[in-house]
Amino acid sequence: MPVFNLMPFSARNLGVVVLLALLVAAPAMLAWRFQDWRYGRQLAQMAQSRAEALNQITQAAAAQQKAEEEKRLALEQRLSTSEQTHYRALSDAQRDQDRLRDRLATADVRLSVLLDADDTAGCAVPAATGSGGVDHGAPRARLDPAHAQRIIAITNEGDRGLIALQACQAYVRALGQ
């Protein structure tokens, strides 16, 4: 006599239901575990590939940033050199202007202007030069030292403006490269 027949009917039905539930649940749980393992492996591979892609993007961004930094440093160096050249040209022009102004003040040099050869009514300049003169050029009139100083100041400002303009043009050219 089998053990199954010794059980009461309600317990027998319950036993059959439990046995059937175990027979259905066991493969389902095994399939669930297998799917979990397989999807976990796929997710790990996706995470790894995403991390590698992100690492490549980060390296490319770092290389680009380094290249931009090198460009900026090169531009700063060129601008520094240009600024030094500009400063040197400006100080040389200033020194030359100061030297000329000093020579005008001490009467070493006198500024003069050419006279119109046809206009003899405006200025009475002797036609013949003195015995000590070697200048055979056009007649000239000397300027008053105060006027000469003003002319030198105007040309000094003009020279500074030209030097500043050249520096600005060099700066724009450097930015355009």
Per-10-residue mean pLDDT for the chain, 177 residues long? 64 82 89 90 94 96 96 88 86 84 72 67 52 59 77 83 84 78
Domain assignment present for residue 130? The answer is: no
Query: What pLDDT is stored for residue 83 in this prediction?
Result: 85
Nearest to 100 by CA among 145, 161, 133: 145
Amino acid at 43: L
The answer to whether position 83 is within a domain reads yes
pLDDT of residue 122: 53
Give me 26's structure tokens: 């066991």
Pairs from 117-121 (Cβ < 8 Å, separation ≥ 24): none
Q: Which of 160, 163, 161, 164 is nearest to 98 (CA)?
A: 160
Residue 148 domain-assigned (yes or no): yes
Q: What is the pLDDT of residue 124?
A: 53
Is there a domain that residue 94 lies in?
yes
* Helix/strand/coil for 1: coil
Structural domain of 67: 3-113+140-176
In a domain? residue 122: no
With a threshold of 0.75, does the pTM exceed it?
no
Q: How far apart are CA 110 and CA 151, in angstroms?
A: 12
Q: How many domains does the chain have?
A: 1
Q: Does a structural domain hold residue 124?
A: no
Instruction: At 147, list the tokens.
Output: 């006027």
Q: Residue 112 is inside which H or E element, if any?
A: strand 112-114
